[in-house]
Copies of this chain bind each other. A is one copy, B any other.
Amino acid sequence: MEGGTRRQFLTAAGVAGVGTTIGHDALAPAVARAAADRRSSATVPFHGRHQAGIATPSQEHIQFAALDVVSDAARDLESLLRAMSDAAVRLTEARPVGPLQTGTAPPVDTGEAVGLGASRLTITFGLGPAVFDRGRFGLARRRPGPLVDLPAFRGDALRPGLCGGDIAIQACAEDQQVAFHAVHDLIRLASPLAVPRWSLAGFGRTLNTRGPATPRNLMGFKDGTANIMSQDAGALSRYVWAGAPESPRWMHGGSYMVVRRVAMLLANWDSIGLDQQEQTFGRHKLSGAPLGERSEYAPLDPSKLPPGSHARLASPQLNAGERILRRGYSFADGVDRSGAAVAGGQLFICFQRDPRRQFIPIQRRLAANDLLGEHTQHVGSAIFACPPGAARGGFVGDRLFR
């Protein structure tokens, strides 16, 4: 019946015709629904060499959560990770994580995604540095070198409740409710072995695949023009996937994720001139081109950009050739403490082979000199080792216990 209903709306979309601008009439919502439905049926497999949600072309929405493990038994951590992977397989196939018809018992799946498609849901797991603490799970010897604790950066305004965590869950989907449901139910399944520490919903992704238009951040600038693109296997292998010699075998094919919750001081930003905004980013606002250039994808020459501009300081040329794969999302956050603007920012997420060579030195340079720092505040911070993808029958992180 679900299938039949879907077909009706796809037909409605067909009637409207491809490329037609739809006005305000009875058909418009049906077309919108049909389009939404087509997006909603797409799936991304959970299993594979790499975890999905890293090089996967970004979806429109994210729900992120960091959990703390309450138990100190390695066996508990292992069974927790296995249970979470098993649930993730079901979730990414748009199946409930467990029975819905449970009589006097609580439903195992909470139900808010019943009837919704997979919506390209990906679930990416990570392990925080504290998992490898001495005397905890007995995993201290297996801690990857690149999984360092992040140093303090100049200007950091971190709130402990928005930082750290033992297990990261990054759920991305084309439908916010699908992403919310995934995190909701994974946290529930993890209880009482783990409890949620912080969580954030986001929208409006950073570009990581060539598309018709680069999305913009809440400051109005294109975001992702110079990003590592998901089609660029060479760059992914060089800059993103963990391997020898830095990483232990159990991490090969994985990646290291850094997450920063960056509040944008929008009232402040909105009050400066366009030229000052462009000097700050080092790019033109409308086209996204490097300052003085006309095309968004024109090569960036750092020597022609203002010394403190973001694009210059973040460029590979100034960072020993290093790059990172960014996968950020915007978030709305009520009203600004200034009382003069909406509050919002970016959940900055990046993946890399070794944060010691990539995020940390890049961020150190930005924190010291970036003009953008006057308009942003880093309030949350975390780092995670994201193991390689799971094979069928396995689970994310399984090699850690062998």
Contact = CB atoms under 8 A, between A and B. Distances in A.
Interface in A159-193: 174, 176-177, 180, 183-184, 187-188, 191
Interface string A212-250: 110111111100000000010000000000000000000
Given A14-B18, A60-B36, A273-B105, A198 B335 contact: yes
Nearest to A68: B339
Contact of A180 (B41, B103, B218): B218
Contacts of A59: 32
Interface stretch (A42-50, A135-143, A352-360): A42-50
B199 A332 contact: yes
Contacts of A100: 274, 285-286
A370 to B, nearest CB: 20
Contact of A42 (B28, B43, B213): B28
Nearest to A104: B273
A60 B19 CA distance: 22
A33 B211 contact: yes
A101 B203 contact: no
A276 B105 CA distance: 9
Given A218-B180, A285-B107, A35 B33 contact: no
Interface residues of A, number: 105
A253 interface: no
A39 interface: yes
A23 B43 contact: yes
A24 B120 CA distance: 9
A341 B184 contact: yes
A259 interface: no
Nearest to A221: B111
B285 A218 contact: no
Contact of A115 (B199, B216, B340): B216
A342 B187 contact: yes
Contact of A177 (B18, B200, B204): B204
A330 interface: yes
- Interface centre among A198, A204, A219, by most chain B C-beta atoms within 10 angstroms, is A204
A14 B200 CA distance: 35
Given A18-B14, A100-B286, A270-B106, A114 B203 contact: no
B219 A112 contact: yes
13 contacts: A10-B18, A22-B41, A31-B38, A31-B42, A60-B176, A104-B275, A107-B220, A110-B220, A112-B219, A177-B204, A180-B342, A184-B342, A197-B335
Given A29-B209, A196-B336, A196-B339, 5 more contacts: A24-B44, A32-B174, A105-B274, A177-B215, A199-B335
